[in-house]
């Protein structure tokens, strides 16, 4: 996925507008925090990506992935990049401190949204897990700084995110299965369910996540059907388009509810290819849903900044998915069995 670094930003959640359901086929996911529209429109800041809570006041999105944690910095504290949304760091560190984003996370969660931290990104960032030991140690750090643990430096203060997404497009990758297993060991004592997702390229198997997706617990596969020949425009070309392999991968996962999401650009400039008119796109999605209903989870849109600038398209697509794809029974436990959890947040 492409991201753009820009330089220096409420809605009160009063009712649950939409609820993510892991057994549904009509969930809609987006990524927030990179302002991809603004990267191509530097002279129009009024239309740049809005604060996180702005995308949580209607039913368009069910899951919002905050992008990105771009530098794992295994010997110290991880580094975040949220474009222009937050630039303040904790004293004597490179770790962002974003209390306003933390407040927005809680507002979104109060409106029934899941808010997940995405690791990686498509630019030249410094990340990778080269061993199981690295994966386990980094999982402890992520748990303590962003999820249900405790840490002196929590970027979003006492907001507890709903999971972790892997948008891994470079770096060493042998340690990610251990990373996921260690996270799930923390989840087993939690009072909330967490999401573990990944955003592989549509070329199968993914060069960076292939071994992880075939060996570790995955709730959602947000397959990027763009920026590659294997986009939906080539659905009828069996040499380019391959959805069946992703369906089989989900069915073989240790998670019996593992799903595949069709990743799409939310605007004509959001990706190098893969953007289709709504009529063509709806026809393609309906074919995939009909053929692969048991593993079809919904759609993923890159990225939230295009909602403001291509709203009729994005809202129309979301409404159509929610109306035409099936939603089953109440959610079943996925990554986390229910238990008790006490989250403490230190004041110093």
The Cα–Cα gap between 87 and 255 comes to: 37
Residues in the chain: 348
How far is CA 325 from each of CA 65, 96, 316, rounded to the nearest angstrom?
22, 39, 14
Contact assessment for residue 341 and residue 39, using Cβ atoms and an 8 Å cutoff? no
Q: Is 169 a catalytic residue?
A: yes
Cβ(65)–Cβ(30) under 8 Å? yes
Residue written as token pair 């949204």: 113
In terms of Cβ atoms closer than 10 Å to its own Cβ (0-12, 13-18, 19+), residue 305 is: buried
Nearest to 343, CA basis, from 150, 101, 106: 150
Given 49, 87, 169, 341, the catalytic residue: 169
Segment holding 314, helix H or strand E: helix 311-324
Q: Are 327 and 295 in contact (CB under 8 A)?
A: no
| Residue 51 per-residue DSSP state | P
Instruction: Give the distance, in angstroms, between the CA of residue 117 and the centroid of all CA atoms in the same chain.
Output: 7
Q: Just list the catalytic residues.
A: 169
């Amino acid at each position: 996925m492409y991201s753009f670094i820009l330089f220096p930003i409420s809605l009160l959640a009063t009712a649950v507008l939409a609820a993510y359901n892991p057994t549904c086929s009509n969930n809609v996911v987006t990524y927030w925090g990179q302002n991809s529209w603004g990267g191509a429109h530097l002279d129009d800041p009024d239309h740049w990506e809005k604060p996180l809570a702005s995308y949580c006041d209607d039913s368009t999105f069910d899951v919002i992935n905050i992008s990105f944690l771009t530098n794992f910095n295994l010997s110290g504290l991880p580094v975040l990049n949220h474009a222009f949304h937050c630039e303040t760091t904790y004293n004597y560190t490179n770790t962002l401190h974003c209390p306003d984003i933390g407040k927005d996370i809680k507002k979104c969660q109060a409106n029934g949204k899941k808010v997940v931290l995405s690791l990686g990104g498509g630019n030249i960032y410094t990340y990778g897990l080269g061993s199981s030991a690295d994966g386990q140690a980094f999982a402890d750090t992520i748990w303590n700084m962003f999820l249900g643990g405790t840490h002196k430096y929590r970027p979003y203060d006492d907001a507890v995110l709903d999971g972790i997404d892997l948008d891994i497009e470079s770096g060493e990758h042998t340690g990610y299965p251990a990373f996921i297993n260690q996270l799930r060991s923390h989840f087993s004592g939690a009072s909330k369910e967490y999401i573990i997702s990944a955003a592989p390229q549509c070329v199968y198997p993914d060069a960076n996540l292939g071994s992880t997706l075939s060996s570790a617990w995955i709730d959602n596969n947000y397959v990027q059907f763009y920026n590659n020949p294997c986009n939906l425009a080539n659905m009828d070309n069996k040499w380019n388009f391959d959805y069946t392999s992703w369906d089989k991968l989900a069915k073989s996962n240790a998670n019996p509810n593992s799903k595949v999401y069709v990743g799409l650009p939310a605007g004509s400039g959001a990706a190098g290819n893969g953007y289709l008119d709504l009529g063509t796109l709806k026809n393609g999605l309906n074919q995939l849903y009909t053929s692969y209903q048991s593993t079809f989870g919904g759609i993923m849109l890159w990225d939230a900044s295009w909602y403001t600038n291509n709203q009729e398209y994005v809202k129309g697509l979301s409404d159509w998915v929610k109306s035409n794809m099936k939603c089953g029974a109440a959610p079943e436990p996925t990554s986390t069995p229910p238990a008790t959890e006490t989250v403490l947040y230190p004041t110093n």
